[in-house]
Amino acid sequence: MLRTYAILALLHGYIAWRLLPDLPYPWVALALATWLVLSLLLMPLGFAARRFRDPDAGDRATWAGMLAAGAFSSLLLLTLLRDIVLTAAHLAPASWLDPALMLRSHATTALGVPLLAALATMAGLVNARLRAAIRRVDVPITNLPASLHGFTIAQISDVHVGPTIKRRYLDAIVDAVNALNADLIAVTGDLVDGSVERLSHHTQPLSRLAARHGAYFVTGNHEYYSGARAWITELRRLGLRVLQNEHVVLEHDGETLVVGGVTDYGAHHFDPAQRSDPKAAIAGAPRHAAFRLLLAHQPRSAFAAMPAGFDLQLSGHTHGGQFVPWNFLVRLQQPFTAGLHRLGSLWVYISRGTGYWGPPIRLGAPSEITAVRLVAA
């Protein structure tokens, strides 16, 4: 913990070192210096807020700390980009540069960085707090029977009900999902960030989810951080069918389809008995099924889902990166970041998430409620 805080302090110091001397107005320098001190205090507070005995105080601390973290991320990235540009300019031949222009550029860019960071934070906050838009995706399935053409799955993922996402936010999501009149609803993990005791009131809207073939849920990594067993019991009480390396067989207008679900890819780190297993999820399924769907929180489950015989995997986890620069870094952990992809005979769709995690910011990775429609290839 102390090492992390020391690194955080050094990064704040780097921003101060690179920007404060070049700012053209003393009051701007004072404002930025004050913000950097507050940021250094608020960010650790936001991550420690779960330990507060007063839940309301903890939620307020989380709001402050997470907003500070989002603003700091943008400020650090823009400061680094400024240094790269200025370094490149200084390395250019002297005959190419006007010394007076270079001096002005130092002042102008030093002022521009915190202003752009503030604008990015405000825009990202608005995007994150808006209800997720409906994203419609057609998935072509080979040999799909006519009666399954147009079969619709409403997917929500990574809502992260918790300190900054409450009942009202989830109510709007449930209303939008129900308005789709989907044949099936899939909730692909990371629904909550906190205990059943703290959040059961806020997850109550899930009991209103309605679809012809019901609503299905698979665990994400955050369920294990929050007490997976208790949440599985609670979600079943709310009427969701929780799939843990198992499947259900559905009949739709005379055709058979299989809906399988696996525990989170890393569930075995919390409970060895919960190891994710797509092969077990389809074991015993009827061979004549016209379509096989797998719900798996993490995209990397696809490498086991494809040989197991599934036609489509619905996942989340990545948030599409949520905001720069994380949209680039998430590719280091997962094979796919967002959207529809093909892995051999398997289609994989990755939702950008319906809520957000950590900083209440979304830039370049809009949240979504996905309406997946099966179509004949």
Domain range annotation of the chain: 2-128, 133-376
- In this prediction, residues 213-231 reach a mean pLDDT of 97
Average pLDDT (325-337) is 83
Sequence-separated (6 or more) residues with CB below 8 Å from residue 245: 261, 262, 263, 275, 276, 277, 278, 280, 281
Place of tokens 């990574």: 158
Q: Specify the DSSP element, H or E, that contains 156.
A: strand 152-156
Give 371's strand partners: 136, 154
CB contact at 8 A, 282 and 311 = no
Mean pLDDT of the chain: 94
Amino acid (one-letter) located at 225: Y
Whether 103 has a pLDDT exceeding 70, the answer reads no
| Alpha-helical runs (H) found in the chain | 2-19, 26-48, 55-91, 99-129, 167-179, 196-203, 221-225, 228-237, 278-282, 302-308, 326-329
Nearest to 349 by CA among 309, 308, 277, 295: 295
Residue 249, pLDDT score: 98
CB burial class (10 A; 0-12, 13-18, 19+) of residue 73? buried
For 259-317, write each residue's pLDDT tens digit.
999 999 999 999 999 999 999 999 999 999 999 999 999 999 999 999 999 999 999 99
pTM above 0.85? yes
Q: Which CATH number describes the domain made up of 133-376?
A: 3.60.21.10
Per-residue confidence band for 174, with pLDDT thresholds at 50, 70 and 90: very high
HSE, CB side, 13 Å, CA atoms: give it for residue 224. Answer: 19
Q: How many residues does the chain have?
A: 377
Are 245 and 265 in contact by the 8 Å Cβ rule? The answer is: no
Mean pLDDT of 163-182: 97
- 144-154 per-position pLDDT tens digit: 999 999 999 99
* pLDDT tens-digit series, residues 41-86: 999 888 777 778 788 888 999 999 999 999 999 999 999 999 999 9
